[in-house]
Structure 1
Amino acid sequence: MNNEILNYIQEHKDQIFNDWKESLKENGDDRVVKVVSDQVFNSTSYEFIDVIIASVKSSTEEFTARLSDFSEKIVRLGWPLSFVTKALNLFEKIVFNKMQDDGIVNVENQMEAVFEFDRWMNPMVNEMVNMYSSTWERTVSMQKIALQELSAPLIPVFDNITVMPLVGTIDTERAKQIMENLLQGTVKHRSEVVLIDITGVPVVDTMVAHHIIQAADAVRLVGAKCMIVGIRPEIAQTIVNLGIDLNQITTKNTLKKGVEAALEITKRKIVKVEEAE
């Protein structure tokens, strides 16, 4: 019966695809149907059928490789797992109903057909869910690493002067990333002055201030001077109310003033050039 199912799918592939595609659009997720173009949706759905056929026709290694490639593709397209499992269920239902209409599945062999469909589809559904999940976890992990690297960049603005702009909430995990980027970047860029810009940090509490002070102390240990800039009036008031001691750290209220001070420390300054007449 298994071979009969496979042969039927291959012989009626286009018809099954058209019915399946329409059923997916009617019962599918708007995040999938409306976001991607019809051409991408059609090609991906057709490839989906090939992967399903490969579950029976191909060797285990070949099927796993194809399934892995396909999982990466649908994760990039943003297909949710619920849509993938629904698509498999719809595909099984369409093939079963068509085989019934054509008399291949009848009263005499219906129970056998149901058993064969379950024996074929259930392992494939499990394998596809596992592969999708592992692909998704790997993708999310890579994105998390990329976001962490972008969340605390150290930017050289002049020779020996670098700036680390901080935006958003600072928790313990992010503070660790800030510290690592700060120390590595200070050494890499041979910074003499490092400016930590907290203009985009909405709240500075005791924990955040502690992390910033630790970062400033660490910068001094590698031979550079650290300056905190972007201290808004409300942040200054919070720091005073919390009794946080920043006496050992140079502070400026704007990045512009911080850069000017950094230039003075490195024995340079910005000079206005008069236009020639």
Structure 2
Amino acid sequence: MNEENKKIIHYLKTLKLNHIKLLACSQSGKKSVWVEKQHSHPYFEFIYFMNAKAQIDVPFGKLDLVPYDVVIYPPGVTHYEHPDLTYPQEIICIAAYIDTFDTFSNAFQFSDKDGTLGWLFEQSYQEYFKKEEGYESMIATYIKAIILHAIRSLQSNKLETSDILNTCVRFIHEHFHESLSMTQLTEISCVSESYISRLFQKNLGMSPMRYLNSVRIDISKKLLLDFSLSINEIAIKVGINDPLYFSRVFRKFTGISPTEFRNLLK
């Protein structure tokens, strides 16, 4: 475990997890969710990246966030979010006051290795949206679980099965616009093609290349909203240089062609 992680864990353990006051919980899928200037908050902010990507300026460097990542902003920590607008910017954000004896001067991130964090954030939003009896206490419990998962994630320095999958998924989301191959995934994960394929099939229900194409098609749907871009230009932007192949893949995932999809948007 590196020294920075030790400091973060020490700080998280100073939080009084029985003294959590919920402020808000929101889910968004649009650019306007981001405050595109340097700012800070007097409370904790937890953000889960469902289908979003952003680079964030923080006091001691930059954070690169991709789908299934979580970022935590402690009170008073300045940050400037630069969203990648080729992604739908689907996030869930929780704001809360938490008593602590200590302060921390930087934001930090960790990854959702098995879907548990995504579930915790989604349940938090559902509770906040419905506002049924005891919803604030329920969300406080979910926030406590998120923090405990953060500690576990930062304590772990082993490349476990979930870490291998997360490494490959992150690589795909960061390089979907390039010509990717299974060889590249084996190089970054240090395991065989067959092992990676089994991981994807078991955990995501599809092959790595199908997952890559699903990401490309999701991004292309967003780009099709920009009528100044041709179908060929969109295909290239998502890493497919053959427009005919792009149309076949698009139809396979959506049941219609890119042109038909765009016509529905008019």
TM-score norm. by structure 1 comes to 0.23
Q: Which has the higher contact order (CA 8 A, sep 6+)?
A: 2
- Compare CA radii of gyration and give the structure with the larger one: 1
TM-score norm. by structure 2 comes to 0.24
The answer to which structure has the higher helix fraction is 1
